[in-house]
Amino acid sequence: MSHRALTTIGFDADDTLWQNEQFFRLTEERFVALLGSHGEAAEISGKLLEAERRNLAFYGFGIKGFTLSMIETAIEVTKGDVPAGVIAEILAAGREMLAHPVETLPHAAETLQALSGEYRLVLITKGDLFDQERKLAQSGLGDIFDGVEIVSDKSAATYERVFARHGDGAQKAMMVGNSLKSDILPALAAGSWAVHVPHALTWALEHAEEPEGQGRYHKLPDLIGLHPLIRKIGQDC
């Protein structure tokens, strides 16, 4: 057990270390265009979001669940008349997402390099297991992490468990991520520091109110400021 106040730093992956949401948006545009003769774009998008929300409890987060939700929405908006060719295009779009090259975000690699050695670094991500393993391998960032946790959801209990396993408990840990709902609020609830690094694109189901009156909450425009912030927290404690 370290005497230091902060020993372990958790990083979200999608839209924190590499691009993710933009691929969902592009695929959604393609999906809406495919069904263009069956309704307005906003209406079809709305039905897709409803399907995703309904299906989260069955499929969890990730591209496979998104693909199934697109198929379900196509059946719904065509009132059961969706041609097999359209289903085939939806499946192909999902597979293309699963094969898309990983684009790491600016400053991700250098930030992790600067912190490694001094802190235990843990990748904490949700989504399809296979897809997240692929992206981590392709990103070239895998070796920097002391631990990798691909979880089905991110709750306060998740952070308590992960930071107990890989560090000195949630109280001595920090979570860094782009989602207030998944990365920030539950990490704060577990007693950790939480650093919100917003991404221009955030999925509607990841929105949440910004926390107020939380001394351990910080917000940064990008990852450049993370190392200085962590150093400052170390001095203040």
Q: Which residues bind Mg ion (CB under 5 A)?
A: 12, 14-15, 178-179
Question: Least Å distance between CB 97 and Mg ion?
Answer: 16
**Residue 120 DSSP symbol:** E
**172 neighbors 8 (Cβ within 8 angstroms):** yes
Q: Which residues contact 228 (CB under 8 A, 6 or more apart)?
A: none
Using Cβ positions, the residue closest to Mg ion within the complex turns out to be 14
In this structure, are residues 107 and 222 in contact, taking their beta carbons and an 8 Å threshold? yes
**Residue 24: CB minimum distance to Mg ion, A:** 12
Nearer to Mg ion, 12 or 160 (CB): 12
Choose between 139 and 178: whose C-beta lies nearer to Mg ion: 178
C-alpha 174/C-alpha 169 separation (Å) is: 10
DSSP SS3 for 83: coil
Nearer CB in complex with Mg ion: 90/195: 195
Least Å from the CB of residue 142 to Mg ion: 17
- Beta-carbon-side half-sphere exposure of residue 126 (alpha carbons within 13 Å): 20
We find the least distance from the C-beta atom of residue 125 to Mg ion, in angstroms, to be 7
The letter for the amino acid at 181 is K
Distance CA 229, CA 237 (A): 12
| Shortest separation between residue 220's beta carbon and Mg ion, angstroms | 15
| SS (HEC) of 72-108 | HHHHHHCCCCCCHHHHHHHHHHHHHHHHCCCCECCCH
